[in-house]
Amino acid sequence: MSAGLFDKYSTLKGNYESLMAASPRNPFGVVIERPLSATVGIIEGRETLLFGTNNYLGLSQSGLARDAAIHTAETMGVGTTGSRIANGTFGLHQKLEKALADVFQKKHAMVFSTGYQANLGTISALVNKDDILFLDADSHASIYDGARLSGAQVIRFRHNDPADLEKRIARTDKTTGARLIIAEGIYSMTGNIAPLNEFVDVKKRHNVPLMVDEAHSFGVLGDHGRGVAEMQGCEKDIDFIVGTFSKSLGTVGGYCVTDHDEIDLMRLCSRPYMFTASLPPEIIAATLAALEEISNRPELRQKLQDNAARLHQGFKAVGLNTSNFISPVIAVTLEDIPQAIAFWNALLDAGVYVNLSLPPATPDNRPLLRCSVMAAHSAAEIDRAVDTFGSIAKELKLV
Amino acid sequence: MTDSVADISHLILQKLLENPKVPRDISGDSRIVEDLAFDSLAVMNFVMEIEDTLDVSVPLDKLADIRTINDLAACLHAIKAEQA
């Protein structure tokens, strides 16, 4: 007798049932009934502080972006109903690609319908089964999935470790296929910042192109908000920068920017780019407005940095285990899943929402309470979050 | 120098037994996921350690066909021969 479709999930089912038995609420089923602002939403009928939304600059609630979306929906409708390579390219898509290329000071940009597809579409257009990819071990799932879609051979290097990358690249110096290194700017689970300038040194020594995903760092780091590469002064040596609109820009979609003139060939061989409907015009208009807001309001980045430092220092002061990087993603590492479930539920009961991240989606097999800070948070909101974390940690005898 | 599949299998077993959570009665025929209770991330991280010891790189797609410790040893042996 052949197996049932869901038989393979028996282990997952067991783990899920144990989790549900241990947790008073489903950690994967939180509903924000509606946002009241960037920092407060209604969850379980109560006003709850939002510390897990990736909405770094608060622009999901931008009045300018909202007005641009309304005006565009009124004048152009709400969807394109087609692929970018057929009927799905409006003038606005090209306008946004030009604006992104200008912001990054690159020659070209390509817009995708989600950030996930930006990685799938870029990676699968650049490498194939004859090629080798070098991925940071802690890469986002979209990078691993893009690698799988490409069919390239994948070699992982130790997280944020240029010497380990170099050792693994050197083993392939005689290969005949093309090679590509992929790293991220800020790592989404831990907030760790990549040493991109050191990866650039490695890529130059071995003549291997470098792609960087600045999903969590665009709008956040660098004098103009262009991310970790700008902050570390190595933008010109990054061959492809990929990112998303669904973090600091507050909407949805993704992009790749590059100086390589072959970008029009990439459009023709990137399945995640062409076999899907393009972004609706009102989303493009809102994203253009948010891009302009990021450029016109550098004070948002400064406020975000100040807020990140305040939350980070607060967590350290109450004795919580966090990364030493000060970035808008601040994760509290816990030792085991029951502890993490108890802590996360107590936080939500006390009116603070953060992300509960469980292995194997986390590095080192340990659970995380992942917080993301916003420029829109007030000092009082951050202090309340720190106090709540501190008192729960004491109750659970973790500090 | 480690060169035979049996030598590599022995090396893998030694490395695994350094981890106190791994059952003591494992052999070359032990299945990595089922018998050792390794998830996908644990397998990838363990292979990384072995790679450093043997100075080879194992592309992730090769791991898909590996079930037992002996399978892993044979895979490492083949890659080491290719890279020599």
**In this structure, are A383 and A284 located in the same domain?**
no
Q: Using CA atoms, how far apart are residues A203 and A196, in angstroms rounded to an integer?
A: 10
Question: Which stretches does DSSP call E strand in chain A?
Answer: 34-35, 40-43, 46-50, 108-112, 132-136, 153-157, 179-184, 210-213, 240-244, 254-258, 329-333, 352-353, 355-357, 368-372
Structural domain includes residue A302: yes
Q: How far is A158 from chain B (nearest CA, A)?
A: 8
pLDDT (tens digit per residue) in A56-66: 999 999 999 99
Q: Check residue B47 and give its pLDDT.
A: 92
Q: Of A275, A296, A317, which residue constitutes the final position of a domain?
A: A296
pLDDT (tens digit per residue) in A71-88: 999 999 999 999 999 999
Q: What is the mean pLDDT of residues A130-157?
A: 96
**In this structure, are A267 and A304 located in the same domain?**
no
Q: How far is A44 from chain B (nearest CA, A)?
A: 34
Tokens representing A16?
């899920």
**B82–A contact, CB cutoff 8 A:** no
Structural domain includes residue A1: no
Residues in chain A with CB shorter than 8 Å from the CB of B38 are none
Q: Of A263, A296, A329, which residue constitutes the final position of a domain?
A: A296
Q: Hey, are the CB atoms on B48 and A137 less than 8 Å from each other?
A: yes
Q: Hey, are the CB atoms on A171 and B83 less than 8 Å from each other?
A: yes
**In this structure, are A167 and A70 located in the same domain?**
yes
Q: What is the CATH number of the domain that holds A345?
A: 3.90.1150.10
**In this structure, are A92 and A214 located in the same domain?**
yes
Averaged pLDDT score across all residues of chain A: 96
**In this structure, are A335 and A269 located in the same domain?**
no
Which of B57, B58, B65 is the best mutation test for A, with the most CBs of A within 10 A?
B57
Structural domains in chain B plus CATH codes: 5-83 (1.10.1200.10)
**In this structure, are A151 and A207 located in the same domain?**
yes
Q: What is the CATH number of the domain that holds A129?
A: 3.40.640.10
Q: Check residue B15 and give its pLDDT.
A: 92
pLDDT band at A170 (very low <50, low <70, confident <90, very high): very high
Q: Hey, are the CB atoms on A155 and B83 less than 8 Å from each other?
A: no
Tokens representing A323?
């990364």
- For residue B60, give the nearest of A154, A171, A365 by CB distance: A154
- For residue B59, give the nearest of A154, A359, A360 by CB distance: A154
Q: Using CA atoms, how far apart are residues A105 and A95, in angstroms rounded to an integer?
A: 15
**In this structure, are A242 and A329 located in the same domain?**
no
pLDDT exceeds cutoff 80 at B27: yes
- Range in A133-137, A148-152, A345-349, B79-83 with the lowest mean pLDDT: B79-83
| Residue with tokens 């990021």, as numbered in its chain | A294
Q: Which string of DSSP letters, residue by residue, matches A369-393?
A: EEEE--TT--HHHHHHHHHHHHHHH
Structural domain includes residue A84: yes
pLDDT band at B2 (very low <50, low <70, confident <90, very high): low
**In this structure, are A287 and A310 located in the same domain?**
no
pLDDT (tens digit per residue) in A101-112: 999 999 999 999
**In this structure, are A160 and A227 located in the same domain?**
yes
pLDDT exceeds cutoff 70 at A279: yes
pLDDT exceeds cutoff 80 at B84: no
Q: Hey, are the CB atoms on B41 and A359 less than 8 Å from each other?
A: yes
pLDDT band at A136 (very low <50, low <70, confident <90, very high): very high
Q: Hey, are the CB atoms on B57 and A359 less than 8 Å from each other?
A: no
Q: Check residue A362 and give its pLDDT.
A: 84
Asked if A83 and A272 count as a contact pair (C-beta separation under 8 A), the reply is no
Domain of A213, in residue numbers: 63-296
Q: Using CA atoms, how far apart are residues A42 and A294, in angstroms rounded to an integer?
A: 27
Higher pLDDT residue, B42 or B73? B73
Structural domain includes residue A117: yes
pLDDT (tens digit per residue) in A205-261: 999 999 999 999 999 999 999 999 999 999 999 999 999 999 999 999 999 999 999
- For residue A156, give the nearest of B39, B48, B61 by CB distance: B48
Structural domain includes residue A2: no
Structural domain includes residue A365: yes
A141-to-A224, A294, A308, A358 alpha-carbon distances in Å? 28, 27, 25, 14
**In this structure, are A118 and A259 located in the same domain?**
yes
**A168–B contact, CB cutoff 8 A:** yes
Structural domain includes residue A250: yes
Does the ipTM surpass 0.85?
Answer: yes
Q: Check residue A130 and give its pLDDT.
A: 96
Asked if A273 and A126 count as a contact pair (C-beta separation under 8 A), the reply is no
**B19–A contact, CB cutoff 8 A:** no
**B56–A contact, CB cutoff 8 A:** yes
Q: How far is B6 from chain A (nearest CA, A)?
A: 24
Residue of chain A minimizing CA distance to B47:
A156
pLDDT exceeds cutoff 80 at B3: no
Structural domain includes residue A39: yes
Q: How far is A236 from chain B (nearest CA, A)?
A: 30
Specify the number of domains making up chain A. 2
Q: Check residue B38 and give its pLDDT.
A: 86
Asked if A281 and A111 count as a contact pair (C-beta separation under 8 A), the reply is no
Asked if A358 and A390 count as a contact pair (C-beta separation under 8 A), the reply is no
Higher pLDDT residue, A174 or A342? A342
**In this structure, are A13 and A87 located in the same domain?**
no
**In this structure, are A243 and A149 located in the same domain?**
yes
Which of A12, A134, A149, A154 is the best mutation test for B, with the most CBs of B within 10 A?
A154
Q: Of A296, A318, A351, which residue constitutes the final position of a domain?
A: A296
